[in-house]
Amino acid sequence: MNLLLDTQVFLWWIDGDPFDRLLIAQAIARDYTLVSADAAFDAYPVKRLWT
Protein backbone atom coordinates (compact mmCIF):
# COMPACT_ATOMS: atom_id res chain seq x y z
CA MET A 1 0.00 0.00 0.00
CA ASN A 2 2.81 2.42 0.75
CA LEU A 3 4.33 1.84 -2.67
CA LEU A 4 0.98 2.67 -4.26
CA LEU A 5 0.70 5.93 -2.32
CA ASP A 6 4.32 6.87 -2.99
CA THR A 7 3.87 6.17 -6.69
CA GLN A 8 0.68 8.25 -6.78
CA VAL A 9 2.53 11.19 -5.24
CA PHE A 10 5.41 10.79 -7.70
CA LEU A 11 3.10 10.58 -10.73
CA TRP A 12 0.90 13.59 -9.92
CA TRP A 13 3.03 15.98 -11.95
CA ILE A 14 3.78 13.62 -14.82
CA ASP A 15 0.24 12.70 -15.89
CA GLY A 16 -2.65 15.07 -15.25
CA ASP A 17 -5.36 12.39 -15.36
CA PRO A 18 -5.97 11.00 -11.85
CA PHE A 19 -7.47 7.75 -13.16
CA ASP A 20 -4.42 7.15 -15.37
CA ARG A 21 -2.19 7.73 -12.34
CA LEU A 22 -4.17 5.16 -10.38
CA LEU A 23 -3.87 2.59 -13.17
CA ILE A 24 -0.14 3.25 -13.54
CA ALA A 25 0.47 3.02 -9.79
CA GLN A 26 -1.46 -0.26 -9.54
CA ALA A 27 0.39 -1.70 -12.53
CA ILE A 28 3.76 -0.79 -11.01
CA ALA A 29 2.91 -1.95 -7.48
CA ARG A 30 1.42 -5.28 -8.52
CA ASP A 31 3.37 -5.93 -11.72
CA TYR A 32 0.19 -5.86 -13.82
CA THR A 33 -0.05 -5.50 -17.57
CA LEU A 34 -2.26 -2.63 -18.72
CA VAL A 35 -4.66 -3.34 -21.56
CA SER A 36 -5.02 -0.04 -23.37
CA ALA A 37 -4.65 1.49 -26.81
CA ASP A 38 -3.38 4.72 -25.19
CA ALA A 39 0.29 5.13 -26.14
CA ALA A 40 0.73 7.64 -23.28
CA PHE A 41 1.24 4.67 -20.95
CA ASP A 42 4.44 3.83 -22.83
CA ALA A 43 6.16 6.70 -21.01
CA TYR A 44 5.94 4.74 -17.75
CA PRO A 45 7.62 1.56 -16.51
CA VAL A 46 4.55 -0.62 -17.11
CA LYS A 47 3.78 -3.39 -19.56
CA ARG A 48 1.03 -2.50 -22.05
CA LEU A 49 -0.96 -4.91 -24.18
CA TRP A 50 -2.84 -3.74 -27.26
CA THR A 51 -0.46 -1.75 -29.37
pLDDT tens digits for 19-35? 888 888 889 889 999 99
Work out the angle between the directed axes of helices 18-30 and 2-11 (0-180°, nearest 10): 140
Position 46, amino acid? V
pTM of the model: 0.67
Q: Which one, of 40, 29, 31, lies nearest residue 5 by Cα?
A: 29
Residues whose CB is less than 8 angstroms from the CB of residue 3 and which lie 6 or more positions away in sequence, other chains included: 28, 29
What local confidence, expressed as pLDDT, does residue 1 receive? 46
Position 16, amino acid? G
The dihedrals phi and psi of 26, each to the nearest 5 degrees, come to -65, -40
